[in-house]
C-alpha cells in the first residue's frame, strides 16, 4: 500500500512539473508589459529631435500590443536620433521580467531610405550577465501606410534576461517605430516545484527502505 501511495505521489508531482513546463513553453510576445527599455550608455553624441516631446519616453519603443500590430508614423510615435558622426548610433538596453528563449525579432522600421535604420547589432545576456548570443541585422524598409513588423528568425538564444541593441544609419539617421520579441519562458524549474519533487523522492525512498 505504501509503495503504491508513494508512486502515486511521485506521479502527481511529475505531472504537475510537466504542466508547469508546458505552460512555460507557451509563446510570449515581449513588449512593455513584460520588459523595460532605457537609452544605453553606449549611445553616441547626437540629437533626439522630437522623440521626447510632450512628455514622451523611450518606452514607446516597446509599446506595440502584438507582433502583427500596425504602426503609424507621426511625430509622437516614432524614435528619431541623429548621430553627430558617421558610425555613431543609438544604444537601447532591454530588460525582461524573466529569462526567455527568444526565437523571433520584430522590427518596425521607417519607410524612407533617408532616415531609416540601416543596421542593428544585438547582444543577448543571461541573468548572470554573460553573453549568450549576438546578431547583426540590416532591416528592410517599413511598409507604406500602416507599418508592419519585419519578422526575423533568431538562432534561439536561450535563457536571455537582457538585450543590448546598437542602431545605426549610414547617413547618421536612426528613425523607426518599435522593437519586440517572440519567445518562450525558459524552462528552469521553480524552487517550489523542485522542492516538492525532491521531497516526494525522499519520501518514496524512505518508505521503500522501511519495507526492506
Domain regions of the chain by residue span = 27-186
Is 50 exceeded by the pLDDT of residue 13?
no
What is the structure's pLDDT at 51? 96
Alpha helices for 61-180 (secondary structure H)? none
- CA neighbor of 82 nearest in space, from 108, 49, 42: 49
Instruction: Give the CATH architecture of domain 27-186.
Output: Sandwich (2.60)
For residue range 59-86, list pLDDT tens digits in order. Answer: 999 999 999 999 999 989 999 999 999 9
- Rounded mean pLDDT, 127-152: 96
CA angle 139, 122, 158 (to 5 degrees): 115
What is the structure's pLDDT at 105? 97
Mapping DSSP to helix (H, G, I), strand (E, B) and coil, where does residue 76 land? coil
Percent of the chain exceeding pLDDT 70 equals 76
Amino acid at each position: 500500500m505504501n509503495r503504491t501511495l508513494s508512486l502515486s505521489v511521485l506521479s502527481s508531482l511529475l505531472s504537475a512539473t510537466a504542466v508547469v513546463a508546458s505552460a512555460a513553453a507557451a509563446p510570449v510576445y515581449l513588449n512593455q508589459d513584460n520588459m523595460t527599455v532605457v537609452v544605453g550608455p553606449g549611445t553616441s553624441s547626437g540629437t533626439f529631435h522630437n522623440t521626447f516631446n510632450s512628455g514622451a519616453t523611450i518606452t514607446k519603443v516597446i509599446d506595440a500590443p502584438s507582433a502583427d500590430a500596425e504602426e503609424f508614423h507621426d511625430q509622437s510615435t516614432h524614435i528619431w536620433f541623429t548621430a553627430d558622426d558617421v558610425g555613431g548610433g543609438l544604444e537601447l538596453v532591454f530588460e525582461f521580467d524573466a529569462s526567455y528563449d527568444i526565437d523571433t525579432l520584430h522590427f518596425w522600421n521607417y519607410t524612407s531610405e533617408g532616415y531609416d535604420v540601416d543596421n542593428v547589432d544585438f547582444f543577448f545576456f543571461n541573468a548572470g550577465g554573460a553573453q549568450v548570443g549576438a546578431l547583426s541585422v540590416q532591416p528592410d524598409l517599413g511598409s507604406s501606410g500602416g507599418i508592419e513588423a519585419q519578422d526575423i528568425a533568431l538562432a534561439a538564444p536561450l535563457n536571455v534576461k537582457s538585450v543590448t541593441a546598437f542602431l545605426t544609419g549610414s547617413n547618421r539617421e536612426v528613425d523607426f517605430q518599435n522593437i519586440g520579441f517572440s519567445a518562450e519562458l525558459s524552462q528552469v524549474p521553480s524552487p517550489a516545484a523542485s522542492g516538492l519533487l525532491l521531497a516526494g523522492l525522499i519520501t518514496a525512498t524512505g518508505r521503500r527502505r522501511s519495507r526492506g
